[in-house]
Amino acid sequence: MAKRVLLVHTGGTFGMAPSGTPVTLAPGPLVARILEEVPELAEVAELRLTVAFNRDSASVEPGDILDLARIIRQQSGDCDGVVLIHGTDTMAYTASVLGFLLADLGKPVVLTGSQRPLAYVRSDARGNLVDAVTLATRGVPEVGVCFGEHWLRGVATEKRSVHRYQAFESPNLPPLAELGLHIQMHPHAGRFERQVPAGLGQAMECALAVYAPFPGMPWVLPHESIRGVLIEAYGTGNLPMQRPDLQALMDHCRRRDIPLVVGSLCPSGGVDLKTYELGRMAAERGAISGGMHTRWAALAKMGLVLGAGGTPGDVRDAFGKSWAGEPV
Ligand code: ASP
């Protein structure tokens, strides 16, 4: 019997068309005709198309992503897998949120998109979509990004190029699958412990501030509406702890129960606040180690925990544990 795949469209370059003067790329109506445009999909699976929205992914809001999780749960019951067409700009964030919220779905959720619109010559859209639909029929329960030659675990993925067709990487985790002449699934695909706490996904706390330091940067206190802080520190989590303004920022967060997570500006490897004296000083002032979380997994995790009413202690616990196969 033919495999069934739910195809959810959300926008992105994939379906864009030239518009306006000067000419720019904007979401177009192409996707409604996707089965006519890519007829070979019928050889792979029976598709059911849902257009959740049709936007440049830079305009996707966290509420949209929570809606996507609901749409996928409600509409994928009789399907073998799900494909989500999404813009590349925020795909890694969406993949991280969905990776956590749909870790127990029990079927593949494959995010894909393209660098060039489907309507253009030399577009990567067609190949990416056919690969994504094929992966969605393979029964491997992962939420992952299918792009270029790889399928990558969503909660470990980052966009790394604006022009290469191999646009995404998961710097701390080997690909789930290689997409070449054959699809070669790796043994860790679908194998991870699911430890996502119950009760997440009703709301997402987005009042989070991200600091990306450079030598001499003024450490301004976060706006009073901010509920969580991510500092993308140097290397293994080092910060200029001698700076009174940074000390004041950390003390401010601690006094106000604002969790402060330390990540790294380096995509590969992770934070270890025990390696250097400066890291130890940050930990002593209340910093939570972001370990190997990508920026997107870190923001997704903090947003989900705080959105569910979690405390800084809950955020600390969350970063100490892999919820859905994310490297920690
Ligand atoms: N701006 C586009 C988007 O994220 C880029 C893309 O899809 O490649 O929607």
Tens of pLDDT along 39-59? Answer: 999 999 999 999 999 999 999
- DSSP-derived 3-state class of residue 168: strand
pLDDT at residue number 237: 96
Is the pTM above the cut of 0.75? yes
Query: How far does residue 167's CA lie from ligand 1's centre (Å)?
Result: 11
pLDDT greater than 80 at residue 83: yes
24 CA → ligand 1 middle, Å: 12
Closest residue to atom 3 of ligand 1, CA basis:
87
Ligand 1 neighbour 64 (Cβ under 6 A): no
Q: Is 94 in the pocket of ligand 1 (CB under 6 A)?
A: no
Structure tokens belonging to residue 117: 């619109």
Atom of ligand 1 nearest to the CA of 14: 7
58 lines ligand 1 (CB under 6 A): yes
Q: How confident is the model at residue 1 (pLDDT cuts 50, 70, 90)?
A: confident
pLDDT mean over 289-304:
98
pLDDT more than 90, % of the chain: 92
CA of 247 to the centre of ligand 1 (A): 38
Phi and psi at 155, nearest 5°, equal -75, 0
Report pLDDT digits (tens) over 184-212: 999 999 999 999 999 999 999 999 999 99
Per-residue confidence (pLDDT) for residue 92, from 0 to 100:
98
pLDDT of residue 35: 83
Over 90: is that where the pLDDT of 22 sits? no
CA of 317 to the centre of ligand 1 (A): 34
Does any ligand 1 atom lie closer than 6 A to the CB of residue 10? no
Place of tokens 């929205």: 53
Residue 17 has a pLDDT of: 83
Per-residue pLDDT for 29 more than 90? no
pLDDT, tens digit, for every residue of 251-287? 999 999 999 999 999 999 999 999 999 999 999 999 9
Q: pLDDT value at position 11?
A: 94
The rounded mean pLDDT for the chain is 96
Nearest to 29 by CA among 21, 41, 17: 17
Where do the domains of the chain lie, and which CATH numbers do they carry? 4-185 (3.40.50.1170), 208-319 (3.40.50.40)
Mean pLDDT of 307-312: 98
Cβ atoms of 42 and 35 within 8 Å: the answer is yes
CA 149, chain centre distance (Å): 18
Cβ–ligand 1 distance for 56 under 6 Å, the answer yes
- pLDDT value of residue 20: 85
Q: From the CA of 235, how far away is ligand 1's center (Å)?
A: 29
pLDDT tens figures, 100-129: 999 999 999 999 999 999 989 999 999 999
DSSP assignment string, 99-131:
HHHTTTS-S-EEEE--SS-TTSTT-SHHHHHHH
Residue among 14, 25, 31, 57 whose CB has most ligand 1 atoms within 8 A, to mutate: 57
* Phi, psi (deg, nearest 5) at residue 82: -130, 140
- For 148-246, strand residue ranges (E) read 150-153, 158-159, 168-169, 177-179, 183-185, 208-211, 228-233
89 C-beta closer than 6 A to ligand 1: yes
113 close to ligand 1 (CB < 6 Angstrom): yes
Look at residue 32 and tell me whether its pLDDT is greater than 90.
Answer: no
* 164 Cβ below 6 A of ligand 1: no
Q: Residue 64 pLDDT more than 90?
A: yes
DSSP 34-102: HHHHSGGGGGT-EEEEEEEEEE-GGG--HHHHHHHHHHHHHH-TT-SEEEEE--STTHHHHHHHHHHHT
pLDDT, position 28: 74
- Distance in angstroms (rounded) separating the CA atoms of residues 300 and 289: 15
What is residue 23's predicted lDDT score, i.e. its pLDDT? 81
Q: Across residues 293-303, what is the average pLDDT?
A: 98
Q: In this predicted structure, what is the pLDDT of residue 210?
A: 98
Give the pLDDT confidence score for residue 8 in this predicted structure: 96
